Amino acid sequence: MKTILYSTLIVLCLTLSHSNLMAQEEGEAKTLFGNNTRINTKDLGFFVAPSFGFTQMDGGSASLFNLRGGVNLKDNIAFGAYFNTSVNDIRPQSETVPNVYMDYWSVGGFAEYTLLSKNLLHVSFPLYIGYGEVEMDNENGNVGLGEANFFQLEPSALLAVNLHKYVRLNVGAGYRFVGQMEYRNFNQSDISGLTGYIGLKFGLFR
């Protein structure tokens, strides 16, 4: 009986060892980054993209400075963070207090998809998701009229031209959707709207 048990154990051990050797011969364990992976570190790049935007908020003209940076995968998919702020004094048409103006800023993250990135001309589609704020000020600073905070979503489309291996020029537009908010004499519908953009993109595009 013992002989049968020993023989069975020997056969089982040999079978397991053979299976393990066969599995090793099939290849190494798959990992996210490496030589035999779907995502190779050689496919990863990075960029910084400053741009200027032109829009309206509650009937007042607004000039915006947008700065975003992130990483890209095969120069098709990118994600990162952004900061957007007004650079001029925004004058809402509904404001009744004289000699005041509105400041605006937003911060958050973005994802971007690019078509035909290796072509001289190509198109990208950034989607911004973030948190924003508006506040009334004057030349002396805060005037004590409070502030309003809100959720913001902005899908965009940009036409880009490759100026250099590491530099691109882009122009396009986005539509700003502002979440529920009320401030002074206006609400989210008065500051939601279309924004035109022009900017540069510096980076290592792979």
Residue 196 pLDDT greater than 90, yes or no: yes
Per-residue pLDDT, 12: 42
Q: How confident is the model at residue 206 (pLDDT cuts 50, 70, 90)?
A: confident
Per-residue pLDDT, 93: 95
- Model confidence, pTM: 0.78
pLDDT, tens digit, 9 for 90 and up, residues 167-182: 999 999 999 999 999 9
Per-residue pLDDT, 141: 75
**Mean pLDDT, rounded, for 73-83:** 94
What is the DSSP secondary-structure string of 37-103?
SSB-GGGEEEEEEEEEEEEEETTEEEEEEEEEEEEEETTTEEEEEEEEEE-S-B--TT--STT-EEE
- Enumerate helices (H) and strands (E) in the chain, giving the number of each: 2, 10
pLDDT, tens digit, 9 for 90 and up, residues 25-75: 455 545 445 555 566 677 899 999 999 999 999 999 999 999 999 999 988
Q: How confident is the model at residue 139 (pLDDT cuts 50, 70, 90)?
A: confident
**Mean pLDDT, rounded, for 93-121:** 94
